[in-house]
């Protein structure tokens, strides 16, 4: 996926005793200049690989192999590249990067969702249901998880509302969860 290391960087890593991931991390921790050179190569390589993707599937595969791709630093760098392309009047490049960035943001959200515990996912599905009927269906779908004190506690303690409308929505969902559990 990524190009080979430049020979000079490869030689520096070999001279530092790098043989595997553990020794790579140790060498990078021990030598800030080597770490900077390696990170610059990695970031540049990932940026080129990102720009070369042709589909969401390729982007997903790349993000599976290169976690740096889903970092805030990387997405901020892509946004700056889009802004620069627009400033230069290169609208085609800007649009191509924008489309990839949007797909990458969706992938990031999907991966974040997949990392969540099943209970949290069930509570989120219940809270984000479009209406009360959809919330009832979400409860039935996730009854084994939502019909618990832990679900009520998670909803009460871990969900924050940003405005009055959201606070009202959360309060109503908490009330509905209690009603459904008591039924």
CA distance 26 to 31: 9
d(CA 123, CA 129): 10
Residue 72's pLDDT is what? 86
Q: Distance (Å, rounded) from C-alpha 117 to C-alpha 149? A: 16
Global confidence as pTM? 0.59
pLDDT at 70: 87
The pLDDT of residue 4 is: 86
**Nearest one of 53, 47, 54, 52 to 69, comparing CA atoms:** 47
Q: Which of 131, 132, 122, 107 is nearest to 159 (CA)?
A: 122
Q: Residue 116 to residues 5, 64, 111, 125, 182: CA-CA distances in angstroms?
A: 35, 17, 9, 12, 27
In order along its 183 residues, the chain shows pLDDT tens digits of: 667 899 999 999 999 999 998 999 999 999 999 999 999 999 899 999 999 999 999 999 999 988 888 888 899 999 999 999 999 999 999 999 999 999 999 998 888 777 778 999 999 999 999 999 999 999 999 999 999 998 999 898 888 888 899 999 999 999 999 999 998
CB 139 within 8 A of CB 146: yes
Cα distance between residue 130 and residue 141, in whole Å: 15
Neighbouring CB atoms inside 10 A of 45's CB total 17
Distances (CA, A) of 103 to 1, 67, 81: 18, 15, 16
Phi then psi for 91, rounded to 5 degrees? -70, -30
Give 63-93 pLDDT, tens digit per residue: 998 888 888 889 999 999 999 999 999 999 9
Q: Which of 5, 13, 75, 10 is nearest to 47 (CA)?
A: 75
pLDDT recorded at residue 160: 82
């Amino acid at each position: 996926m990524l190009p080979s290391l430049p020979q000079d960087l490869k030689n520096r890593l070999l001279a530092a005793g790098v043989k595997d991931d553990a020794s790579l991390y140790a060498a990078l921790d021990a030598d800030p200049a080597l770490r900077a050179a390696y990170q610059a190569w990695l970031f540049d390589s990932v940026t080129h690989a990102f720009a070369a993707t042709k589909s969401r599937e390729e982007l997903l595969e790349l993000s599976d192999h290169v976690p740096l791709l889903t970092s805030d630093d990387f997405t901020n760098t892509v946004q700056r590249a889009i802004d620069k392309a627009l400033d230069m009047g290169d609208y085609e490049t800007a649009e191509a990067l924008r489309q990839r960035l949007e797909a990458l943001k969706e992938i990031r959200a999907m991966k974040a969702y997949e990392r969540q515990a099943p209970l949290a996912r069930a509570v989120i599905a219940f809270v984000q249901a479009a209406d009360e009927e959809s919330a009832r269906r979400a409860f039935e779908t996730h009854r084994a998880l939502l019909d618990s004190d832990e679900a009520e506690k998670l909803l009460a303690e871990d969900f924050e509302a940003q405005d009055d409308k959201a606070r009202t929505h959360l309060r109503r969902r908490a009330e509905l969860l209690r009603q459904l559990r008591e039924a």
